[in-house]
Amino acid sequence: MTSVHEVPRPSISVSQFEKREELRRVLESRHFAAAPKRARFLEFVCEQTFLGNGEKLNEYLIGVEVYGRGAEFNPQRDPIVRVQAHEIRRCLRKYYEENGGESTLRIDVPAGHYLPVFSRSVPDAPEPAPVEPPAAAPLRSNRHVYLAVTAGLSLICLTLAVALVWALRKSPVQAPTRTGAPAISESLQWFWGPFLSPAHAPLIVIPNHPVLRAAHNGDSEQTVAHGHEIPKADLPEFRDTIHFRELRRFIFVPSTTDFTAVGETLGLVRICEIFFRVDDVCRVQPSRLVNFEEIRNGNAILLGGSQAWSGRVFLETQGFHLQGGVILNRNPQPGEKPEYKPEFDPISNQLTRDYALVLMLPNQERENRVLLIYGIYTQGSQAAIEYLTDPERMAVLRRALLALSPDQKTPPPYFQALLTTTVENAVPGTTTLVAVRRITN
């Protein structure tokens, strides 16, 4: 059979999203699905390339990581990597001969190398037209455009964040020393110590925000009927996604389950790093799958303000309170404002300043704690998490809390902190401490 992938076009860039989708299709094919080691080989070299480690790929690394060879592995004596690489090249050729018409991309592992190459190809025959979703009502507000763009970019960032967490967990972790010295710096130990071993591992909860997501051919007619159509030309931000290529029309439907906030997701990586340093588990669940008993009875870290537990169950009525998109200050101290609101550029309407709250609270069992971290926007949440994982900035928070402590020597175990961050191009910048409150109950 003649391959449809005869004309490679390496000059046209291929996005990470497209590469991952092509890798998924290849690994699910009969040529790799029934051969776990072969699939693991291809997945490993591709993932390392996605993470920017492609130049480090060699026979020794693949032999140790994929085939479980020990540190004494000698590629000159054991040719397993070269033999399997030959098999992978053969299977890739067979896959594209039999299934190549289903994709405009091609994965190759050139002979003599282990760095995979992704190239775009021109098919000999036009691809079959995708099935169109049913017609939907036209969009009536530009707000849906902003929600749709946010959803698409969020999913891309989530994919990268998950890949990074996977890489951190898979990378060799040096066993923590047991000499009595803390495994993390003292400026972080005082804050994160209650959540680290031997304490009960906390449950970290990420929010599920209501957004509009792109409808696809697998959706029911009822789902699509409640959607809103946006011309594809109005969403150039989506041009580098599989949705832009496969969907003839962009119809967006309401969803509360298909989206994870970008800032909280990126911050989650930094939090997990803290736990990985001491070889602890980083447990994560979406808020919609967590019940009140799980929050109330153990250690918990709640990320983002759009979940049932944030600002509803653990209210501190005398301190700061996030309500209706602003942070209320019920008992302003000298130099403080009664209300903190986000700031926007008057011309571009882009967010330029956000605020975030950090609440360290006692749980039902006093040996456990609940930590809430949430900004008014997702940039505030990300900035707050970055602040809480930075030793230098945590030293500032510790000094502010010591000033509220009765003995001036030990930070109060329960407190509130209000932070603010500059924002440029939807990315948090400089984060500073605005005020702190000691919680006495």
Domain boundary among 89, 106, 121: 121
142 in any annotated domain: no
Q: How far apart are CA 139 and CA 121, in angstroms?
A: 35
**Which regions of 158-227 does DSSP assign to beta strands (E)?**
203-206, 211-214
Task: Supply the pLDDT for residue 337.
Answer: 94
d(C-alpha 25, C-alpha 27), whole Å: 6
Q: How many CA atoms lie within 13 A of 158 on its CB side?
A: 15
Q: For residue 242, is it within any domain?
A: yes
What single letter denotes the amino acid at residue 235? L
Q: Are residues 309 and 363 in the same domain?
A: yes
188 and 98 inside one domain: no
Pairwise CA distance, residues 203 & 197, whole Å: 14
Q: pLDDT, tens digit, for every residue of 220-262?
A: 777 788 889 999 888 887 776 767 777 888 999 887 655 557 7
Cα-based distances in Å from 287 to 171, 204, 304, 378, 397: 28, 9, 10, 16, 28
Give the pLDDT confidence score for residue 405 in this predicted structure: 92
Does 133 fall in a domain? no
223 plus 339 within the same structural domain: no
Half-sphere exposure of 376 toward its Cβ, with a 13 Å CA cutoff? 26
According to the model, what pLDDT value does residue 316 have? 54
Residue-level pLDDT at 354: 93
Residue 402 lies in a domain: yes
> Which residues lie across from 326 on neighbouring strands?
323
Pairing relationship of beta strands 137-138 and 228-229 according to DSSP bridges:
parallel
For residues 104 and 246, state if they share a domain.
no
Indicate the pTM of the whole model: 0.52
**Is there a single domain that holds both residue 391 and residue 433?**
yes
Report the alpha-carbon distance of residue 48 to residue 34 in Å, rounded. 23
DSSP code at position 198: T
Which contiguous run of DSSP H or E holds residue 40?
helix 36-50
Residue 263 domain-assigned (yes or no)? no
Number of domains within the chain: 3
Residues 196 and 282 in one domain: yes
Any idea what DSSP says for residue 406? T
- The stretches in the chain having pLDDT less than 50 are 1-11, 123-150, 153, 156, 160, 167-168, 170-182, 310-313
Edge-to-edge order in the sheet of strand 8-9: 8-9, 117-121, 105-108
Residues 275 and 220 in one domain: no
Same domain membership, residue 331 and residue 234: no
Residue 178 lies inside a defined structural domain of this protein: no
The range of the structural domain enclosing residue 219 comes to 211-255
> pLDDT tens for residues 377-400?
888 999 999 999 999 999 999 999
Considering the domain architecture, whether residues 279 and 408 belong to the same structural domain is answered as: yes
Q: Are 401 and 352 members of one domain?
A: yes
User: What whole-number distance in Å separates Cα of residue 145 and Cα of residue 212?
Assistant: 9
User: What is the three-class DSSP state of 352?
Assistant: strand
Which of 378, 360, 350, 351 shows the shortest CA–CA distance to 265? 378
Residues 153/261, Cβ–Cβ less than 8 Å: no
Examine residue 286 and state whether it is found in any structural domain, yes or no.
Answer: yes
> What pLDDT, on a 0 to 100 scale, did the predictor assign at position 368?
87
Whether the CA torsion 290, 292, 296, 297 is positive or negative: it is negative
Residues 105, 216, single domain; the answer is no
**Does residue 51 lie within any of the structural domains?**
yes
Q: Is 267 left (phi over 0), alpha (psi -120 to 50) or beta?
A: alpha
What are the φ and ψ backbone dihedral angles of 92, each rounded to 5 degrees? -65, -40
Residue 332 and residue 200 share a domain: yes
Asked whether 281 and 397 are in contact (CB, 8 A), the reply is: no
Q: Tell me how far the alpha carbon of residue 283 is from its chain's centroid.
A: 14
